[in-house]
Chain A
Amino acid sequence: NAGVTQTPKFQVLKTGQSMTLQCAQDMNHEYMSWYRQDPGMGLRLIHYSVGAGITDQGEVPNGYNVSRSTTEDFPLRLLSAAPSQTSVYFCASSYSATGQQETQYFGPGTRLLVL
């Protein structure tokens, strides 16, 4: 299993540009989510999904869009990049069985710099 994969590893954008951060998992996990990590702020939830076709907002959703057309993929779209979106982005996935929440698996992260 490849686990959780993210592409690209690093990206530089200009203000106003759009882009999509890719996230894929091969563990047949129902739950997927996106977090951003900023110095002094910790990791904060952007959007999450409880299954294909179902998404919802997290703590800091403004400026981001998501969709979940398949179980495996959960892309994060930046609509019009702003310097405040400079961050490290992590995708995570997990499985829930019999009501117990299982270990969350994280991808390696995407470092985004918006100029």
Chain B
Amino acid sequence: KQEVTQIPAALSVPEGENLVLNCSFTDSAIYNLQWFRQDPGKGLTSLLLIQSSQREQTSGRLNASLDKSSGRSTLYIAASQPGDSATYLCAVTYGNNRLAFGKGNQVVVIP
């Protein structure tokens, strides 16, 4: 069974610092890995998708890396802003487009 772990569960950083969120998974037989953002009481918004053949993906201040062989991904958010405060979810896609999720990194950016 695919297990996805996110560390740390919660973190607070001062505005302007870079954020580093970690995700690990137990089975390297994945199609891709997605990072989502979830605001309190809201749905999930896809931030980045990395195909299993890729090593990283970038969008604006966000950069995500994938090391499939070691079962790890890292999401970097440069120059954090208070608007980045949210929960970030890592999910891997396996057979039939099913997702296995981590429990999330709850981020607070302090002004």
Contact = CB atoms under 8 A, between A and B. Distances in A.
Interface of A: 31, 33, 35, 40-45, 48, 50, 56, 58, 90, 92, 94, 96, 100-109
A42 B43 contact: no
Interface stretch (B60-68, B69-77, B97-105): B97-105
Contact of B43 (A41, A58, A102, A107): A107
Contacts of A106: 36, 43-46
Contacts of A92: 99
A111 to B, nearest CB: 8
B98 A58 contact: yes
Interface residues of B, number: 23
A101 B101 contact: no
B89 A43 contact: yes
Contacts of B44: 90, 106
Nearest to B36: A106
B38 to A, nearest CB: 9
Contact of A104 (B34, B42, B96, B103): B34
Nearest to B49: A103
A31 B96 contact: yes
A77 to B, nearest CB: 20
A104 B51 contact: no
Contacts of A42: 89, 101-104
B43 A109 contact: yes
B32 interface: yes
Contact of A101 (B32, B42, B43, B46): B32
Given A90-B44, A106-B44, A48 B104 contact: no
Contact of B96 (A50, A107, A109): A50
Contact of B98 (A33, A105, A108, A109): A33
Interface in B19-39: 31-32, 34, 36
